[in-house]
């Protein structure tokens, strides 16, 4: 028995060592909204804060949230609506930090007479798939505030890249886009911007999400990842040209982009301009929290969010802002 007791401290040390060596997995989507995760990785900021991070790309927020729920990811940067939808079904999820304020523009082809959102009636609009954060905001805020029903517009749910191609080819009259696809479309297609939601209805589009289990077991690592991403946001805000050099290759494969009016542009220039349109924030303030609840209410009104008791979903149940409170943000 004594021999076995002697093994206990050694086993504890081995367990602690194994946890220290275990990779911390961060999920992201290849959009400017998730730039903080990419910059933190490329600039070595995760390592600076003592984390060995594996950055894992996902093609959609739905797939990313499934990985968090399933335990394949530790954290992810994605749309808040994904967390609400899954939490309403019983998933143990926590929003632990901010990322990016919503930037979604409506671009219309120059050969149309569309001057504003109301002008989209009976027109074809390329947007994201139904159920996404962008789609919820488009239907529940943008169109509604313009006096339009979703059925008044022919909405095509496609990827951002396909939306840009559709604008170039003339297959659609307009597109609802985020960066850097907004920037790329304005450079390569005959379009003009008639609307940007951040100017009229600012909201926290992207947040940092983890599971309750991960937060309980790896709180120190989660907080270190948030520290790294906070530093990445500072780099994006104060040194956008440097940040663009780090992540331009994520978005544009070729060294340059051929534009309609400005000739060949270095991809770093394009991405720096896209960064300049963004508002990144690691903190979720009171206004953000009110908007988060409003978004949940919109989802419930649209029928894409249903609670077991039929009552409004209380978003406070999935918020854990202890990191930003401890850092006095």
Splitting the chain (329 residues) into consecutive groups of 10 residues, what average pLDDT does each group show?
49 46 91 97 98 96 94 94 88 96 95 97 93 88 96 95 95 97 96 96 95 97 98 98 98 96 97 97 96 92 81 92 96
| Residues 88 and 216 placed together within one structural domain of the fold | yes
Domain containing 260 equals 22-99+203-325
Q: Cα–Cα–Cα angle for 261, 265, 268, nearest 5°?
A: 140
Question: pLDDT value at position 44?
Answer: 98
The count of domains in the chain is: 2
| Residues 169 and 88 placed together within one structural domain of the fold | no
| Residues 29 and 178 placed together within one structural domain of the fold | no
* Other beta carbons within 10 Å of 293: 15
* 180 upstream amide cis, omega within 30 of 0: yes
| Residues 117 and 74 placed together within one structural domain of the fold | no
Strands (E) across 197-325 are located at 204-211, 256-258, 264-266
CATH number, position 125? 3.40.190.10
Contact (CB, 8 A) for 153 and 187: no
| Residues 210 and 94 placed together within one structural domain of the fold | yes
Question: Which of 164, 194, 224 is the last residue in one of the domains?
Answer: 194
| Residues 270 and 244 placed together within one structural domain of the fold | yes
| Residues 95 and 109 placed together within one structural domain of the fold | no
| Residues 87 and 221 placed together within one structural domain of the fold | yes
| Residues 40 and 116 placed together within one structural domain of the fold | no
Whether this model's pTM surpasses 0.85: yes
Question: pLDDT value at position 8?
Answer: 47
Residue recorded with tokens 């079904």 = 89
């Amino acid at each position: 028995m004594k021999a076995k007791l002697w093994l206990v401290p050694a086993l504890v040390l081995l367990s602690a060592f194994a946890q220290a060596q275990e990779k911390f997995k961060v999920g992201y989507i290849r959009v400017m909204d998730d730039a903080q995760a990419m910059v933190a990785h490329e600039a070595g900021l995760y390592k600076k804060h003592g984390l060995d991070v594996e950055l894992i790309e996902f093609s959609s927020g739905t797939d990313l949230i499934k990985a968090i729920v399933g335990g394949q990811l530790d954290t992810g940067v994605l749309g808040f609506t994904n967390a609400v939808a899954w939490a309403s079904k019983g998933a143990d999820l926590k929003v632990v930090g901010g990322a990016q304020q919503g930037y979604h523009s409506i671009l219309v082809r120059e050969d149309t007479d569309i001057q504003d959102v109301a002008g989209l009636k009976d027109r074809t609009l390329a947007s994201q798939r139904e159920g996404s954060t962008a789609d919820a905001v488009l239907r529940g805020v943008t169109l509604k505030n313009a006096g339009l029903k979703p059925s008044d517009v022919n909405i095509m749910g496609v990827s951002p890249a396909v939306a840009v191609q559709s604008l170039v080819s003339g297959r659609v009259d307009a597109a609802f886009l985020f960066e850097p696809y907004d920037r790329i479309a304005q450079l390569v297609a005959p379009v003009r911007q008639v609307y940007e939601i951040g100017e009229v209805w600012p909201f926290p589009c992207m947040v940092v999400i983890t599971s309750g289990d991960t937060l309980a077991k790896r709180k120190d690592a989660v907080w270190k990842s948030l520290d790294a991403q906070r530093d990445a946001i500072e780099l994006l805000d104060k040194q956008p040209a440097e940040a663009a050099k780090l992540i331009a290759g994520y978005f544009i494969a070729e060294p340059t982009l051929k534009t309609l009016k400005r000739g060949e542009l270095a991809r770093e220039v394009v991405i720096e301009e896209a960064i300049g349109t963004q508002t990144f924030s690691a903190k979720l303030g009171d206004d953000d929290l009110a908007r988060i609840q409003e978004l949940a209410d919109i989802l419930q009104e649209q029928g894409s969010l249903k609670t077991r008791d039929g009552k409004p979903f209380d978003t406070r149940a999935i918020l854990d802002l202890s990191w930003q409170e401890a850092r006095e943000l």
